[in-house]
Chains A and B, each alone.
Chain A
């Protein structure tokens, strides 16, 4: 049984190596000794193989049923298939933290391997920031959440857990583990955490460069240019993680929705909000040399929200003050967040005067002004989310009474802000940098505006009178037409000037500025998602009832008849109750649905799997709520009618596609803006 020692030993070595990397880098800079900086760099590179050894050891223990290891007992069982045992690495808290660190070291290694010739001064500080972050997580794993702790039986027969053999005890191997939480045994849940974690860890990279820029005083926007793609990649993974999480909730949680404003969801959403604001506002710095302070604040915020999110998604101890105070990792996380936040802000304040704006805001309708409004709205949503998550704790501390801050609060508070974002999404692409007037904007806007009014008229004729829905559809149509119009005008201009065919013109246009046109594709994705959200949020209907076998139940123009129910055990330790329903639409038979309830014996948890009939128009979504176990005579079903919900998933797909277009590596060498070139030359001259 050397595996646990091997994995744990390698964790300790990685911890020491990352501390060494930070120390050596700082020492190297102070003494101006390149050898020390190179040594720090090599140490950083060493963390990945070392952590791979640890992570692979955990995976080995998981798949070979080493139940004497407490973590293995907690998250696996003999009946689980191999792939689930592997993914159990991130099925519990201790394993997740190792997994997080493993990904972190992979990204840190990748960034360390880049060419540093133009910006050597950043290297030591990027190493320092990323290795300290890594060391923090490894410290948590080693001292507080060790996945290699084993189970022992003492001489007196007591069962205890410890990393190393306590005197007079023998190893104790339970016959079987308690198995992975059934909710996590879903393809969506297998991919969702890694995506989210990839998003989380890759935001550490832009933050490291930002700190490096502050520490070295190299306050041109080189750090932004280097980390542009890292930021987009981080954002891509985070968005993908959020979308997959929504899909998983829709498929598995059995409440007919995709987003419940749960603190765990919000924890992943907050870094995304700050990151999205950052993605937009760095463009102002690149183009106009403005908002340098603000961009620093945004990336610092994103980084600390990433740490906060990691803490919240896994431990969930924010649910009560009591649980928080009792958990060991809660205070550790908060200390780290507080420390990094204060240090970062101090660094920023020291460089405050060097980060002066290079240009003036010349028009309230210019692109940069509208981007600032966009930032205000994103941060507004962030404040609502943060406050909603925090308030129950404040209330409990102040009055001793817990309160629930649930969906009605978030929906009311963020609804108008989301609508404002959509409106900006329609106006901003038409405004010009520096100077835009109501007249030029109006001239650019009137065609898409008229087209969007036509859509609203069509929706009105279609019989929809709900004001929020009408507003939503108008905004969606407006943004869609503006965005498509942008593609059209650009392609037409190329077509006329360069005699390219229209498809070729469109392709070359997008290829020429992937970030801009990828961004527009993302906007189109958001429009599609908005249509889905309007459909399900405003027009969802539901009913529930108990019907005997052969009985019928109706919702709108749909009806179901309850044909039969089978109750059986499966080899993987489930008891399945599966109903067979015939579905009719306008009294026409359209097919069968099989909603079911799986009961997992090991973890004693039920799971409700809906039967769904999915079309572009709507989802007909049936849940098996209850049934008579003996006679199997009657059963209770809950039916949801979710109009347009598939547009949400399609929008998610388009969204990710757009992000990939924007993040795709450019074939030609990095192009710089004129401003950046001048700034860099000036900086190089000052250095010399």
Chain B
């Protein structure tokens, strides 16, 4: 009986050991996974993908991903930190805009006065096209004395030769 009791308590302790070991392995696995997740480095390419879209206020017109100055290196380090902390691209960009103003973005955000930057060129182009269209309409009224010259009909090649000769002659 004693043996039996001992046996049972032994079996219990074995289970205990197994459970503890199991827990340790599990914990080890879990923490291992967690630490692996923490240690997975942010690549330069991930940093550059965001830096490419930003401009620091000091280096005019040089995108952050290629700017060689110390200040820009610090900004890139900051992006890396935020990425490591799990920030999204939009959140990082918003953060820089909040800190330094709209000028860090490669193009002005479309709001307020900035709408002008996007509206003026197409409007100017449409206006130009309209003026041109009106001019065409006005010009197309043929003058009686400027009958278009008729090229004698014939084979396409002859027509071309005639036109070429005429153009070269008239220079």
A: residues with CB less than 8 A from B are 254-256, 260-263, 287, 290, 316, 319, 357, 359-362, 364, 369, 372-373, 376, 379-380, 383-384, 387-388, 391-392, 394-395, 398-399, 401-409, 413, 417, 432-435, 443-444, 489-490, 493, 497, 512-513, 516, 542-546, 606, 608, 636, 638, 671, 673-674
- Contact assessment for A360 and B141 in the assembled complex, using a CB-CB cutoff below 8 Å: yes
Q: List 17 A-B contacts (CB under 8 A).
A: A255-B62, A316-B60, A319-B60, A360-B141, A362-B140, A383-B124, A387-B121, A402-B102, A403-B108, A404-B104, A404-B105, A404-B106, A404-B107, A409-B106, A513-B167, A638-B66, A674-B170
Question: Using Cβ atoms and an 8 Å threshold, which residues of chain B touch A380?
Answer: 121, 124-125, 128
Question: Using Cβ atoms and an 8 Å threshold, which residues of chain B touch A361?
Answer: 135-136, 139-140
Contacts known (A380-B128, A636-B44); A395 close to B167, Cβ less than 8 A: no
Question: Using Cβ atoms and an 8 Å threshold, which residues of chain A touch B114?
Answer: 395, 403
- Contact assessment for A391 and B48 in the assembled complex, using a CB-CB cutoff below 8 Å: no
* 4 closest cross-chain pairs (CB), A and B: A361-B139, A544-B44, A406-B106, A255-B66
1/0 per residue B85-117: CB within 8 Å of A?
000000000000000011111111000111011
Given contacts A360-B141, A409-B117, 11 further A-B contacts (CB under 8 A): A255-B62, A290-B139, A395-B108, A403-B103, A404-B107, A406-B107, A409-B106, A413-B121, A432-B163, A435-B149, A542-B45
Which residue of the partner chain, among A359, A402, A674, contacts B103 with CB atoms under 8 Å?
A402
Question: Using Cβ atoms and an 8 Å threshold, which residues of chain A touch B170?
Answer: 287, 673-674
Indicate the size class of the contact surface on chain B.
35 or more
Contacts known (A497-B161, A545-B43); A376 close to B136, Cβ less than 8 A: no
Interface membership of B61, Cβ < 8 A: yes
Residue of B nearest to A430 (CB): B160
1/0 per residue B12-56: CB within 8 Å of A?
000000000000000000000000000000011100100000010
Which residue of the partner chain, among A369, A383, A636, A674, contacts B121 with CB atoms under 8 Å?
A383
Interface membership of B168, Cβ < 8 A: yes
Question: Using Cβ atoms and an 8 Å threshold, which residues of chain A touch B43?
Answer: 544-545
Question: Using Cβ atoms and an 8 Å threshold, which residues of chain A touch B117?
Answer: 387-388, 391, 403, 405, 409
A357 to B136, CA, bound (A): 13
A413 to B43, CA, bound (A): 32
B: residues with CB less than 8 A from A are 43-45, 48, 55, 57, 60-63, 66, 68, 101-108, 112-114, 116-118, 120-121, 124-125, 128-129, 132, 135-136, 139-143, 146, 148-149, 156-157, 160-161, 163-164, 167-168, 170-171
B154 to chain A, nearest CB (A): 13
Question: Using Cβ atoms and an 8 Å threshold, which residues of chain A touch B124?
Answer: 380, 383, 387
- Contact assessment for B61 and A260 in the assembled complex, using a CB-CB cutoff below 8 Å: yes
Question: Using Cβ atoms and an 8 Å threshold, which residues of chain B touch A260?
Answer: 61-62
A136 to B38, CA, bound (A): 65
A402 to B62, CA, bound (A): 15
A665 to B128, CA, bound (A): 36
- Contact assessment for A405 and B108 in the assembled complex, using a CB-CB cutoff below 8 Å: yes
A417 to B139, CA, bound (A): 25
A379 to B125, CA, bound (A): 8
Question: Using Cβ atoms and an 8 Å threshold, which residues of chain B touch A444?
Answer: 160
Of A360, A388, A403, A673, chain B has the most CB atoms within 10 Å of the CB of A403
Main secondary structure on B side of the interface with A: helix
Question: Using Cβ atoms and an 8 Å threshold, which residues of chain B touch A407?
Answer: 106
- Contact assessment for B132 and A364 in the assembled complex, using a CB-CB cutoff below 8 Å: no
Question: Using Cβ atoms and an 8 Å threshold, which residues of chain A touch B106?
Answer: 404, 406-409
- Contact assessment for A398 and B68 in the assembled complex, using a CB-CB cutoff below 8 Å: no
A376 to B133, CA, bound (A): 11
- Contact assessment for A443 and B148 in the assembled complex, using a CB-CB cutoff below 8 Å: no
Which residue of the partner chain, among A261, A360, A391, A544, contacts B116 with CB atoms under 8 Å?
A391
Residue of A nearest to B139 (CB): A361
- Contact assessment for A404 and B103 in the assembled complex, using a CB-CB cutoff below 8 Å: yes
A383 to B136, CA, bound (A): 22
A244 to chain B, nearest CB (A): 20
- Contact assessment for B132 and A376 in the assembled complex, using a CB-CB cutoff below 8 Å: yes
A675 to B114, CA, bound (A): 50
A361 to B156, CA, bound (A): 24
- Contact assessment for A434 and B136 in the assembled complex, using a CB-CB cutoff below 8 Å: no
Question: Using Cβ atoms and an 8 Å threshold, which residues of chain B touch A401?
Answer: 101-103
Question: Using Cβ atoms and an 8 Å threshold, which residues of chain A touch B57?
Answer: 402
Residue of B nearest to A673 (CB): B170
A603 to chain B, nearest CB (A): 14
Residue of B nearest to A264 (CB): B61
Question: Using Cβ atoms and an 8 Å threshold, which residues of chain A touch B61?
Answer: 260-263, 404, 406
Question: Using Cβ atoms and an 8 Å threshold, which residues of chain A touch B160?
Answer: 444, 489, 493
A542 to B63, CA, bound (A): 15
A102 to B131, CA, bound (A): 41
Of A360, A402, A417, chain B has the most CB atoms within 10 Å of the CB of A360
- Contact assessment for B128 and A379 in the assembled complex, using a CB-CB cutoff below 8 Å: yes
A173 to B158, CA, bound (A): 78
Residue of A nearest to B104 (CB): A404
A417 to chain B, nearest CB (A): 8
Question: Using Cβ atoms and an 8 Å threshold, which residues of chain B touch A434?
Answer: 148-149
- Contact assessment for A546 and B44 in the assembled complex, using a CB-CB cutoff below 8 Å: yes
A546 to B44, CA, bound (A): 8
Residue of B nearest to A492 (CB): B157
Question: Using Cβ atoms and an 8 Å threshold, which residues of chain B touch A516?
Answer: 167-168
Question: Using Cβ atoms and an 8 Å threshold, which residues of chain A touch B139?
Answer: 290, 357, 360-361
Contacts known (A406-B61, A673-B170); A544 close to B45, Cβ less than 8 A: yes
A569 to chain B, nearest CB (A): 20
Question: Using Cβ atoms and an 8 Å threshold, which residues of chain B touch A373?
Answer: 132
- Contact assessment for A490 and B66 in the assembled complex, using a CB-CB cutoff below 8 Å: no
A249 to B99, CA, bound (A): 31
A376 to B156, CA, bound (A): 32
- Contact assessment for A512 and B168 in the assembled complex, using a CB-CB cutoff below 8 Å: yes
A379 to B126, CA, bound (A): 12
Contacts known (A287-B170, A399-B113, A546-B44); A493 close to B156, Cβ less than 8 A: no
Question: Using Cβ atoms and an 8 Å threshold, which residues of chain B touch A399?
Answer: 112-113
- Contact assessment for A376 and B128 in the assembled complex, using a CB-CB cutoff below 8 Å: yes
